Amino acid sequence: MKHKQIIADVFSSVSRHYDTFLNLITFRRIKDWQRAMLKEVEGAKTLLDVGTGTGEVLLQADPQAMRVGIDLSLGMLKVARKKCPNCGFVLADAENVPFKTSSFDAITLSLVYRHLYNRDQFLKEARRVLKPEGRLAILDINKFWLTPLLVFLMKFPIKPLGLMLFGRDKWEFFIHSLENSLSEEELKRELESNGFKVIKTQKRLFGIVYIVSAQRI
Ligand SMILES: C[S@@+](CC[C@H](N)C(=O)[O-])C[C@H]1O[C@@H](n2cnc3c(N)ncnc32)[C@H](O)[C@@H]1O
C-alpha cells in the first residue's frame, strides 16, 4: 500500500532525531503524558504498544510485563531496539496485527491514532488481540479551532511551498494526519461504536492533548 510506505519513509527519515524533536515540541511533557496513559493500563501483564516509534512508551512501562511494540517504520524500530533490548519489536501494521486472538491485557497508542488510514479495521484488530475486558489507552492531539484553518492553508496558499520542500506524497500525508485528527467526543463515539466502553478521559496542555482509556466489551 503506497500510503503505508510513505508513513514508513517519513518516520524512518526522522528517526534519529525524533525523540529530541518530540521533547522540544511538547515542552518536555511527552513522558508525563505517556506515563498518565500507562497508568490507565496498570497491572497489564502483556502490553502491546501500537505505532511504538522509538519505543518510549514501552521503556516506561512495567518491566515485569511482556512488552511488545509494532510499527511500520524500520528506522524507528531500530532506535527502539537499542533503547529497550528487553522489549519485543515487530515491523507490522496496526490494521493487520500479527498476533493471536486474546494475546494482550492492554494496548496503548501514543500519537498514532490520527495517522491510521482505516481506524475501524484497527479497532477490529484491537478487539481481536485483546483479552476479554482488556484495556485500550489512546494519547493524541485534539482537533481544535485552528485545525480547519491549518488544513485550508496547507491545501491551498502554502501548498506550492510544501510540495517543493517535501514532495507531493509527504505533503499529502501531513495534510491527512491533520485532517484525520479527532475531537475527544468523536474519538469516544468511534470507540463506543466499535465494541469499547470508554472509562476515562483526561486533558493536558489546555485540552490540546487528550488521553482516553477504554475497555473491550
Ligand atoms: C508520531 S509517531 C509516534 C511514535 C511513538 N508512539 C511516540 O509516542 O513517540 C507515529 C508512529 O506511528 C507509526 N504508524 C503510523 N501508522 C501505522 C500503522 N498503520 N501501523 C503501525 N505503525 C504505524 C509510524 O511509523 C510512527 O512511528
The protein residue whose alpha carbon is closest to atom 23 in ligand 1 is: 51
Instruction: Choose one of 72, 108, 177 to mutate for the ligand 1 pocket test, by most ligand atoms within 8 angstroms of C-beta.
Output: 72
Which amino acid is it at 134? G
pTM for this entry? 0.94
Mean pLDDT of the chain, nearest integer = 95
The answer to whether 68 touches 45, Cβ cutoff 8 Å, is no
Please give the number of the atom of ligand 1 that sits closest to the Cα of 18: 9
pLDDT at 32: 98
Please give the number of the atom of ligand 1 that sits closest to the Cα of 15: 27
Q: Up-side HSE of residue 139: CA atoms within 13 Å toward CB? A: 25
* Cell, residue 73: 517504520
Task: Looking at the structure, tell me whether residues 78 and 165 fall in a common domain.
Answer: no
Q: How far is the C-alpha of 163 from the C-alpha of 210, rounded, in Å?
A: 31
Q: How far is the C-alpha of 184 from the C-alpha of 79, rounded, in Å?
A: 31
Closest of 90, 41, 96 to residue 212, by C-alpha: 41
The answer to whether 62 touches 44, Cβ cutoff 8 Å, is yes
DSSP state of 206: G
Task: Looking at the structure, tell me whether residues 7 and 33 fall in a common domain.
Answer: yes
Please give the number of the atom of ligand 1 that sits closest to the Cα of 95: 19
Task: Looking at the structure, tell me whether residues 62 and 150 fall in a common domain.
Answer: no
Question: What's the total number of domains in the chain?
Answer: 2
| pLDDT band at 189; cut points 50, 70, 90 | very high
**How far is the centre of ligand 1, averaged over its atoms, from the C-alpha of 157 (Å)?**
28
| pLDDT band at 2; cut points 50, 70, 90 | confident
Closest of 86, 37, 62, 87 to residue 71, by C-alpha: 87
Task: Looking at the structure, tell me whether residues 53 and 115 fall in a common domain.
Answer: yes
Task: Looking at the structure, tell me whether residues 23 and 13 fall in a common domain.
Answer: yes
- Residue 84's domain is classified under what CATH number? 3.40.50.150
pLDDT at 1: 59
Task: Looking at the structure, tell me whether residues 54 and 158 fall in a common domain.
Answer: no
pLDDT at 152: 93
- Residue 210 CA to its chain's centroid (Å): 12
Task: Looking at the structure, tell me whether residues 56 and 153 fall in a common domain.
Answer: no
The protein residue whose alpha carbon is closest to atom 10 in ligand 1 is: 112
* Cell, residue 171: 505533503
Task: Looking at the structure, tell me whether residues 69 and 150 fall in a common domain.
Answer: no
* Cell, residue 101: 486472538
Average pLDDT over residues 174-181: 90
**Ligand 1 pocket, CB under 6 A:** 7, 11, 22, 51-53, 56-57, 70-73, 76, 93-95, 110-112, 115-116
Task: Looking at the structure, tell me whether residues 111 and 166 fall in a common domain.
Answer: no
Task: Looking at the structure, tell me whether residues 176 and 123 fall in a common domain.
Answer: no
Q: How far is the C-alpha of 170 from the C-alpha of 7, rounded, in Å?
A: 8
Greater confidence (173 vs 55) lies with: 55
**How far is the centre of ligand 1, averaged over its atoms, from the C-alpha of 211 (Å)?**
16
Domain region containing 54: 2-143+183-216
**How far is the centre of ligand 1, averaged over its atoms, from the C-alpha of 98 (Å)?**
16
Task: Looking at the structure, tell me whether residues 170 and 118 fall in a common domain.
Answer: no
pLDDT at 11: 93
The protein residue whose alpha carbon is closest to atom 13 in ligand 1 is: 51
